[in-house]
Amino acid sequence: MARLNVAVLISGRGSNLQALIDGCAASGFPAQIGLVISNTPDAAGLDRAQKAGIATHEVNHRDYSDREDFETALNQALTGAGIEFICLAGFMRLLTPGFVNRWKDRLINIHPSLLPAYKGLDTHTRVLADGVRFTGCTVHFVRAEMDHGPIIVQAAVPVHADDDEARLAARVLAAEHQCYPLALRMIADGRVSIADEIITIRGIDSPDTVLINPIIDC
């Protein structure tokens, strides 16, 4: 069976890209990364891709007068490489409804919160300011509205009493690195279906434990 040909779009260091590279390298993984595209020429993630023998391409958004022209260049690179599916991994550009609709149900993103809570930027700062006990990450299909779309995988991450933004971000990022390859595997395996914007996943179990934070000794 042919593996799903995936592109990963990045803007920076590419730590979630590395998690996807490692996942796709596993025996029997049903997807392969055929192309990594960055909108910033000096993105460290490009080096990660090149070290893994993956083709890279730069589409610098500063070279285009508007988002439509930028996305036309993106689409040309994607279709030229025979890409079937896109993962956004720290891609710091808002995509137009035209691009999102063109790739509908073939475009996913990972966000560092338990969506629909804490959409947008500075999620960890806001989590700490609100004093919530759990945060996490979400892999979801992309829709035109920012940080919105059918949810595929989530991980709950406890907030510790001594957390600062950096410590909390590191713990959430570790969860992201587990969730993103899992989501891609399930999609490429054909386990994921969408009806009325709700995801159904064939052949999975859900945890039956209750997580409580904080824990005290009685």
For the stretch 132-137, contacts whose Cβ atoms lie closer than 8 Å and that sit 24 or more positions apart, written own/partner, are 132/159, 133/158, 133/159, 133/213, 133/214, 134/158, 134/159, 134/211, 134/213, 135/159, 135/168, 135/172, 136/172, 136/175, 137/110, 137/111, 137/112, 137/113, 137/172, 137/175, 137/176, 137/179
In the residue annotation, 111 being an active-site residue is answered as yes
Residue 167, classed as helix, strand or coil, is helix
Indicate which residue of 57, 111, 124, 140 is catalytic.
111
Q: Write out the catalytic residue numbers.
A: 111
